Structure formats: C-alpha cells, structure tokens
Amino acid sequence: MKADTHPDYHMITVQMTDGSTFQTRSTWGSEGDTLVLDIDPTSHPAWTGGKAQLQDGGRVAQFNKRFGGLSLKKN
C-alpha cells in the first residue's frame, strides 16, 4: 500500500433523528466528531411505510400548470 494516499479511518459518533447515537468507523470528519442525520431508517417513508412527500413546485408540475391545457391535435 502506498503511503499518504488513503484517507484517515477513525471513530465517529452518528446521531439518528430520534436522538439515539452509535459509534462507527468512518473517513468522514475527524476523530470524535458527531454526524447528525437528517433522514434515517427510523424516519424515511421508504422504511416506515408512510407517504412520500411530493414536491408540488417541481419543474414538471410548473410546466403542467402553465401549459396543461394545450393540445397537439389538429382541428
């Protein structure tokens, strides 16, 4: 293995959305840092079975709102 080419691998603390924490090894941050998660398996709809949050203001929704009544049919 070449020297000085690999990132530092150290212990960090991961804090879940419900406040629980666990320690793991990672290349993120530095030794002893805390990684605070915004989304995790306890809160994400894919794992909890809840409804996914849809964006009503996305690009496709804006396009359909503006041009939804147009048609390509010839009269």
Query: Taking all residues of the chain, what is their mean pLDDT, rounded to a whole number?
Result: 84
pLDDT digits (tens, 9 = 90+) for 21-47: 999 999 999 999 999 999 888 888 777
- Classify residue 63 by burial, with Cβ atoms within 10 Å: 0-12, 13-18, 19+: exposed
- pTM (2 decimals)? 0.58
Q: Which two tokens stand for residue 49?
A: 């079975």
Higher pLDDT, 3 or 29: 29
pLDDT at 28: 94
